[in-house]
Amino acid sequence: MAASSPKTLIDFFQQPSKRLKVTSSTSSLTATATATAMATNATSSDLSAAQRGRIELNKLLAKSKRNLKICSERVTLSKGIPSPSLEELLVEETWLEALPDGELRKPYALSLCEFLRAEIGSSPAAVYPPPQLIFNALNRTPFDRVKAVILGQDPYHGPGQAMGLSFSVPHGIKLPSSLANIFKELQQDVGCPIPSHGNLEKWAVQGVLLLNAVLTVRSHQANSHAKKGWEQFTDAVIKTISEKKKGALFSDEPDIAEDGSSTHRLAAIVGAGA
């Protein structure tokens, strides 16, 4: 795919300005004054829109940090228990309202919770991500803001990699090949610059649900928590979005690599940078 589009999304979506037709010296002065005023107003409007965007993003980031703080406090308060119940770790109100009533109290979820407690209790460092980040995808992306869903398989199973967001890694962690492929396609299709890191928290708060099919994994053992109940829960999440959020983009890393329309829609949501 050729990178024929501009370097930033601002250039990508900006319409070319129309030239004013000048018929006399007087009209030329009038046209110049009008054009100057229009340019000034446009610049002011653009700045205001950018400022509003930054303010909104900061509010969303603050809310997601609040959710993380609540989860961390609940993990700390669990004391002797290896982990709080799964129900206590999903704190984003919009998801609690949108998901089927009592989803995390169903038999499969209770069985999954007991399995995780046994896994975490055997060695606190053996399960990724840590308990407070298990529902990070839902706690960072409110249901009412979901515009796209990028589906992964299960969390990264190396130390310090998994952060509860599919494909995302914390600052300072080497970019995984799967995420590098997503960045590459965004650059080729839309002209987005490739970020210097793989932390996708800002994508999450802007409406990109970074959801793995399985939300936990044993250290260095891919798919070790598959078929323990997570698939039933994430199926409920996907079904809820499909039924209540018309027009949401569903994709995975291979889809993004093959479908240019996916990269354009994703870029329109997250902007030019990560």
Question: What is the Cα–Cα distance from 180 to 145, expressed in whole angstroms?
Answer: 25
Structure tokens at 60: 């969303």
Coil, strand or helix at 221 = strand
- Positions marked catalytic: 154
Residue 101 sits at φ, ψ, to 5 deg, of -55, 130
Question: Where are any strands of DSSP class E within 47-159?
Answer: 127-128, 148-152
Sequence-distant (≥ 6) Cβ neighbours of residue 248 within 8 angstroms? 146, 147, 148, 149, 241, 242
DSSP code, position 168: -
- Residue 246 is inside which H or E element, if any? none
Residue 106 sits at φ, ψ, to 5 deg, of -70, 155
